[in-house]
Amino acid sequence: MTEHDKKTSDDTTHFGYETVEKSKKASKVAEVFHSVAAKYDVMNDLMSFGVHRIWKRYTIERAAARPGQTILDIAGGTGDLTAKFSKIVGSTGKVVLADINESMLKVGRNKLVDNGIVGNVEYVQANAECLPFPDNYFDRITIAFGLRNVTEKEKALQSMYRILKPGGKLLVLEFSKPALPALSKVYDVYSFSLLPAMGKVVANDSESYKYLAESIRMHPDQETLKQMMSDAGFDEVEYTNLTGGIVALHIGKKF
């Protein structure tokens, strides 16, 4: 590899199946989520046949949060995890819903306020690669279906490690690689044919859902992400496949 080739590869990343400059990926992802924000909850239910609620409930259980703790929900979007954590940590605890996308943050804040979830929730527009919080600050950090959209995943994991308290946990809930070949084939047909079609009908946006399907395929598989978390400093990293590996929950601790 020549120095020019190395520079080119170092300066580019994937946006779905498209190769783009790293400096442009965040804005392109932002366009996607500005577009889908208003219909995000409806599409989540349709896309997963409601199963995303079970995946998130399992994540909450494995977090084992307690009253009085401080929790960060990165890429928190419309606030599903934040709402549940808010009830668990109570008035002596705090939940920070962070999202890089202003539209998603606004939808999430409005939804939680409308549901009476106020008082112990804060909202921060933030990039996961450079989280604006002190060292050793949070008891739990979650990122659900957000890591695959981050440009520099290694930087994001290092940033999460820095702000996690010793004794704390990071939980990464993300689409992953189906464990069975037969399931992979069915999943491919669903992702690249039905998903964009649903996006077109429900959200009048097939291209954003085409990107979302491609971004899932470009995300590191279970073992690769486990190693990335270990490389970022996390201890006792483990993962659990959900729905045959279509989704995986990775957990890392900080000692």
- The reply to whether 78 sits in an annotated binding site is yes
- The reply to whether 126 sits in an annotated binding site is no
Q: How far is CA 231 from CA 26, 37, 235, in A?
A: 24, 33, 9
- Both tokens of 255, joined, read 């000692």
- The reply to whether 128 sits in an annotated binding site is yes
- The reply to whether 99 sits in an annotated binding site is yes
More confident residue, 192 or 243: 243
Question: Residues 150-190: pLDDT tens digits?
Answer: 999 999 999 999 999 999 999 999 999 999 888 988 888 88
Question: Residues 54-109: pLDDT tens digits?
Answer: 999 999 999 999 999 999 999 998 899 999 999 999 999 999 999 999 989 999 99
Question: Residues 120-156: pLDDT tens digits?
Answer: 999 999 999 999 999 999 999 999 999 999 999 999 9
What's the pTM value of the predicted model, to 2 decimals?
0.88
Q: Give the total residue count for the chain.
A: 255
Residue 245 has pLDDT above 50, yes or no: yes
Backbone φ, ψ for residue 94 (5° rounding):
-150, 140
Tell me which of 3.90.1300.10, 3.30.70.260, 3.40.50.150, 3.40.50.800 is the CATH number of domain 34-178+211-254. 3.40.50.150
